[in-house]
């Protein structure tokens, strides 16, 4: 087969082939570049918490952050926000690194961990204490919560709020030294218990937790909170534009307050900008729920091809290009919205339509005998590897007397508008001849087991005059003698409801019982030699990938990535 290498490879550079659409964040960056706010510097970061695998929502953020840096000659960091050791694991770090790289992005030397800053974060906390901006509180978590007030009522000062600087310093150091039990004290910043923004009511910035950390081990028994850690990590890395999802909008005043207090000791004050998260219909997006699906054995693992994790999408057959195209297409805005799964699937169809060689697979075989074909006759039929790319050449498919067609391409009593095979009707066998159905053979239980046809020798595709006789149906087939068996996994959407978790519903009750079906299909013999992750269009069926885990030499396993058309759109 003669397919240019470049057409088959994942091409990270092609991100620049898609002209970036304008959006409000780009407008901010361009304005900053115009005014010289950051002296032309654009430095972003993607800051996952390593408490699960990345999902398609993260891909939106990754493409935005890395894409922005790429387009403005900047840098994007990959930073693990690892301040919550209970839920974090090295396995998640590894999978995140793998997924971001697979998507085609590169952080160069800018791989960071918030835990790398634990020493600085501790020093800055002492700095805040020394300036009367932080205090050790000895209330319990419940007491702190009950004094916090509500959206309509102001909070109340803790009785420990006015401890002296010396006492606070002493207690904080002893917290670090492990002198107190978990939960005995916390460190809070001193802002305003009456602020209308609850995030500013003296938030906790350190708590005591004797938990092993996946990187710092048992060095620390106090851990900084996310809001405190995040802005300082951004500042230490001299991030210019700190992009996050809308739920952090109310945290921005805290982000700014902390950096304002530390302006003499941290080198920069990044701008936090919020954008709307991706909500994808027919999916659940939170890591907590994805973990439940994995741990409850509702799926085969994080990379189950039905999961909308990047590992799952990859195994399903998605390409990095298709996901980057999706991110580009959905755009970035401040307005929350729902994106249909069909948009994601269309991006894959578009990408693979260009790049996937065509092959034939008969998924549900029905035996056909061509009665007037010579008993041991055999001939080559030529099929293009790609209908729009003659330079990809043709492959040869052998025709013989007995072939398989799809069961669905025959109907004993055809419904109106059915143009495929039925008794007395004619169809073209793709790349071969016109055949006519002569009779049907059934078994004792009245099931059709075989059909008999005759062929018209003057109609071979590609020969002179072949196209003179027109028939409406054009079906695929494989020679029974040469077809090879292969396992094919027919995947469909994991949920059969567009909003499985809306309104606090138990999304697990909307699992689609038909989301996975394993069959043995017949495929072209050359498909025996595929490599894991080779992708094909199985003509008329959709796009399939050789499973990256289970494909062995001479024994391929194919996953259906996406059907040719969206069958979920209800046509009126």
Give residues in contact with ligand ATP (CB under 6 A): 47-49, 57-58, 60-61, 244-245, 277-278, 285-287
348: helix, strand or coil = helix
Angstrom distance (rounded) from CA 108 to CA 120: 23
Q: What is the 3-state secondary structure (H, E, C) of 333-362?
A: CCCCCEECHHHHHHHHHHHHHHHCCEECEE
210: helix, strand or coil = coil
Angstrom distance (rounded) from CA 255 to CA 351: 40
Q: Is 508 exposed, middle or buried (CB count within 10 Å of its CB: 0-12, 13-18, 19+)?
A: middle
Angstrom distance (rounded) from CA 407 to CA 41: 61
The CB-of-50 to ligand ATP minimum distance in angstroms stands at 8
Give the phi and the psi of residue 295 in degrees, each rounded to 5.
-70, -25
Q: Which is nearer to ligand ATP, 214 or 277 (CB)?
A: 277
The CB-of-57 to Mg ion minimum distance in angstroms stands at 11
Q: Residue 245 touches which of ligand ATP, Mg ion, none (CB < 5 to 8 A by kind)?
A: ligand ATP
237 is catalytic: no
Q: Which is nearer to ligand ATP, 246 or 519 (CB)?
A: 246
277 is catalytic: yes
Q: What is the 3-state secondary structure (H, E, C) of 402-428?
A: EEEEEHHHECCCCCCCCCCECCCCEEE
Nearest to 420 by CA among 380, 460, 383, 451: 451
Token couple for 413: 């009593």
Catalytic residue among 176, 252, 287, 420: 287
The CB-of-531 to Mg ion minimum distance in angstroms stands at 37
> What single DSSP character describes residue 229?
H
Q: Which is nearer to Mg ion, 49 or 450 (CB)?
A: 49
Angstrom distance (rounded) from CA 525 to CA 417: 34
Q: Which is nearer to ligand ATP, 259 or 421 (CB)?
A: 259
- The pairing of strands 361-362 and 516-523 is antiparallel
Q: How many CB atoms lie within 10 A of CB 506?
A: 8
Q: Which is nearer to ligand ATP, 41 or 60 (CB)?
A: 60
Cβ atoms of 29 and 241 closer than 8 Å: yes
Q: Residue 320 touches which of ligand ATP, Mg ion, none (CB < 5 to 8 A by kind)?
A: none
State the helix-helix crossing angle for 320-330 and 56-71, rounded to 10 degrees.
Answer: 80
The CB-of-84 to Mg ion minimum distance in angstroms stands at 9
The CB-of-111 to ligand ATP minimum distance in angstroms stands at 15
Helices (H), 90-217: 90-102, 118-130, 141-147, 165-177
Cβ atoms of 203 and 231 closer than 8 Å: no
Q: Which is nearer to ligand ATP, 299 or 490 (CB)?
A: 299
Catalytic residue among 148, 209, 238, 277: 277
Measured from each CB, the residue nearest to ligand ATP is 57
The CB-of-286 to ligand ATP minimum distance in angstroms stands at 4
- The pairing of strands 279-280 and 338-339 is parallel
Q: Residue 286 touches which of Mg ion, ligand ATP, none (CB < 5 to 8 A by kind)?
A: ligand ATP
Angstrom distance (rounded) from CA 229 to CA 208: 15
Q: Which is nearer to Mg ion, 49 or 167 (CB)?
A: 49
Q: Which is nearer to ligand ATP, 57 or 67 (CB)?
A: 57
Cβ atoms of 16 and 70 closer than 8 Å: yes
Q: How many CB atoms lie within 10 A of CB 204?
A: 16
Q: Which is nearer to ligand ATP, 157 or 245 (CB)?
A: 245
**Part in contact with Mg ion (CB under 5 A); list of ranges 41-49, 82-90, 136-144, 324-332:** 41-49
> What sign does the dihedral 114-116-117-122 (CA atoms) show?
positive
The CB-of-391 to ligand ATP minimum distance in angstroms stands at 39
Cβ atoms of 362 and 477 closer than 8 Å: yes
Catalytic residue among 26, 37, 49, 126: 49
49 is catalytic: yes
The CB-of-515 to ligand ATP minimum distance in angstroms stands at 21
H or E element, residue 111: strand 111-113
Nearest to 186 by CA among 161, 166, 156: 161
Site string for Mg ion, 196-215 (x = CB under 5 A): --------------------
Cβ atoms of 428 and 461 closer than 8 Å: yes
Q: Residue 61 touches which of Mg ion, ligand ATP, none (CB < 5 to 8 A by kind)?
A: ligand ATP
The CB-of-49 to Mg ion minimum distance in angstroms stands at 5
Please identify every residue annotated as catalytic. Answer: 49, 277, 287
Binding region for Mg ion (CB under 5 A): 49
């Amino acid at each position: 087969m003669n397919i240019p290498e470049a057409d088959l490879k994942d091409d990270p550079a092609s991100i620049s082939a898609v002209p970036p659409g304008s959006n409000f964040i780009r407008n901010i960056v361009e304005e900053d570049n115009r005014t010289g706010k950051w002296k032309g510097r654009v430095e972003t970061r993607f800051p996952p918490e390593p408490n699960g695998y990345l999902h398609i929502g993260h891909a939106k953020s990754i493409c935005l952050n890395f894409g922005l840096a790429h387009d403005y000659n900047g840098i994007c960091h990959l930073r693990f926000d690892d301040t919550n050791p209970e839920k974090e694991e090295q396995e998640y770090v590894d999978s995140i690194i793998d997924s971001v790289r697979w998507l085609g992005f590169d952080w160069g030397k800018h791989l960071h961990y918030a835990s790398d800053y634990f020493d600085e974060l501790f020093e800055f906390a002492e700095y805040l204490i020394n300036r009367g901006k932080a205090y050790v509180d000895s209330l319990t978590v419940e007491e702190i919560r009950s004094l916090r007030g509500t959206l309509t009522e102001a909070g109340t000062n803790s009785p420990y709020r006015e401890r002296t600087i010396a006492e606070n310093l002493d207690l904080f150091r002893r917290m670090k030294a492990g002198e107190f039990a978990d939960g005995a004290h916390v460190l809070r910043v001193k802002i305003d218990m009456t602020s209308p923004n609850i995030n500013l009511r003296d938030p906790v910035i350190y708590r005591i937790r004797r938990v092993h950390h996946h990187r710092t081990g048992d060095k620390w028994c106090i851990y900084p909170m996310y809001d405190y850690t995040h802005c300082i990590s951004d500042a230490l890395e001299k991030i210019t534009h700190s992009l996050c999802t809308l739920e952090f909008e109310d945290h921005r005043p805290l982000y700014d307050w902390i950096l304002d207090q530390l302006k003499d000791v941290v080198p920069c004050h990044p701008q936090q900008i919020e954008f709307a998260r991706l909500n994808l219909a027919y999916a659940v997006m939170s890591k907590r729920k994805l973990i439940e699906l994995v741990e409850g054995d509702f799926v085969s693992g994080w990379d189950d091809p039905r999961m909308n994790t990047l590992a799952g999408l990859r195994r399903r057959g998605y390409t990095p290009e298709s996901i980057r195209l999706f991110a580009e297409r959905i755009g970035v805005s401040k307005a929350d919205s729902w994106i249909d799964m069909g948009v994601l699937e269309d991006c894959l169809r578009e990408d693979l339509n260009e790049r996937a060689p065509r092959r034939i697979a008969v998924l549900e075989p029905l035996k056909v005998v061509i009665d007037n074909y010579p008993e041991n006759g055999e001939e080559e039929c030529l099929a293009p590897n790609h209908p729009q790319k003659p330079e990809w050449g043709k492959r040869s498919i052998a025709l013989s007397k007995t072939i398989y067609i799809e069961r669905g391409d025959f109907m004993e009593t055809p419904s109106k508008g059915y143009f495929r095979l039925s008794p007395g009707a004619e169809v073209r066998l793709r790349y071969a001849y016109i055949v006519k159905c002569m009779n049907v053979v059934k078994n004792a239980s009245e099931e059709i087991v075989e059909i008999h046809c005759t062929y018209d020798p003057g109609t071979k595709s590609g020969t002179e005059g072949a196209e003179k006789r027109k028939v409406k149906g054009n079906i695929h087939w494989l020679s029974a003698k040469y077809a090879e068996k292969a396992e094919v996994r027919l995947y469909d959407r994991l949920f059969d409801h567009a909003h499985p978790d809306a309104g606090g519903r138990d999304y697990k009750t909307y699992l689609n019982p038909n989301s996975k079906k394993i069959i043995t299909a017949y495929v072209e013999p050359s498909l025996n030699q595929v490599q894991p992750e080779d992708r094909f269009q199985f003509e008329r069926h959709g796009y399939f990938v050789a499973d990256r885990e289970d494909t062995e030499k001479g024994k391929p396993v194919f996953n259906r990535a996406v059907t040719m058309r969206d069958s979920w759109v209800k046509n009126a």
